[in-house]
Chain A
């Protein structure tokens, strides 16, 4: 691998992380008042946090995340195809139509199952 490229990428990412991080130095130089009430989570202004934080939430969010994974991989898979779509000819086109029809059937199946039926 090209050392110069690796170094540049490392410098880029390092600087882009470091400079925002420098702004957090206010944690050291800024005021540091402490107190029982001050150190509590604010939430909505009520002193102590009421209720459990790790509460359950709708399973639909998990299903949507899984659905996202499938479609995201589909989209990423399409990028190399999209770049060379002119060269691939009708064969490549039909291949991709078949692939997309499968995924589209999946989307319709999931919608039929009621993942997006909110109550």
Chain B
């Protein structure tokens, strides 16, 4: 056993614990948030403020029967929920929470997160396809076309940030934005660059991370009023639980990436005491915004969803990319 191996093993275990805890308590936060927005209490029965709700839910899911309906493609049906969970765990290994708190920093961290992030679309496709169910099938076709449509503007806006930082290393990207909130990539002014479209870039990235994680208003994949529950209709017990946890873990990753790329990572807004707490505060503000948006906006249609990506977000992000490249040359 070499040192790197032990490090990586420890990192994976911590990442899994973090993902599981976050996924469980985000469900609670989501239900409390929904309750707050809809003027009702949300979960209250188990523990103070319903705080014991996630473990109770977990035990309930664990002890239920894992139904495998007749006629499904058994192997793919079982692999799909695992594949929904796995990319988020791997991605957490490269996300830097502060200068020192990072499981394993690699110099192409951003690329790796995108590579594994795009695998969740495959899990949805496998789950929907193998279910032998018309609604799941329609849902998986929709969800995949949505995931691929929003991956392009996401990649392109990330390229803009990569150009400014000159590196794919997430640490480097954060270091480039250090020293006060006016240096963050969200503003038009960065160090040695003035680009008026950077706020638009941030918005595009945020919209794309909403769409990539299948969150409302872009949750066409699991539109319960049209498609029952979409691609996980046939799943019960932990099969459903893994899909659910995978979704919340993806939300955390989306928030982490947005924070790192545009909001200065663990950097303090006023240049004082940078540290992991700022990172945590920022990602939870973003996650709260995710929840807020979910319970505020109605669901779009698949047509307007795809039109938004191909006709609006991609041209704007391509233009912004060219503009940033040109400005980097000028300044």
Contacts and interface: CB of A to CB of B under 8 A. Distances in A.
B63 interface: yes
A44 B138 CA distance: 13
Contacts of A27: 66, 68, 78, 237
B295 to A, nearest CB: 25
| Overall SS of chain A's interface | helix
Interface string A1-27: 000110110011101110111011011
Contacts of A38: 67
Interface of A: 4-5, 7-8, 11-13, 15-17, 19-21, 23-24, 26-27, 30-33, 38-44, 49, 51-55, 57, 61, 64-65, 67-68, 71-72, 75-76, 78-79, 82-86, 89-90, 93, 96-97, 100, 104, 107, 111, 116, 118
Contact of B163 (A26, A51, A82, A116): A82
Given A23-B241, A49-B132, 14 more contacts: A11-B9, A12-B11, A24-B238, A26-B62, A27-B68, A30-B64, A39-B70, A55-B137, A61-B141, A65-B145, A72-B152, A83-B162, A83-B168, A118-B307
Contacts of B138: 57
Interface residues of B, number: 75
Interface of B: 2, 4-5, 7-9, 11-13, 16, 62-72, 78, 81-82, 85-86, 89-90, 93, 104, 111, 131-135, 137-138, 141, 144-145, 148-149, 151-152, 155-156, 159, 162-163, 166-168, 228, 233-234, 237-239, 241-242, 303, 306-307, 310-311, 314-315, 318, 321-322, 325-326, 328-329
16 contacts: A7-B2, A8-B4, A8-B7, A11-B9, A11-B12, A16-B89, A21-B82, A26-B238, A32-B65, A41-B131, A64-B306, A78-B321, A79-B111, A82-B163, A89-B329, A116-B306
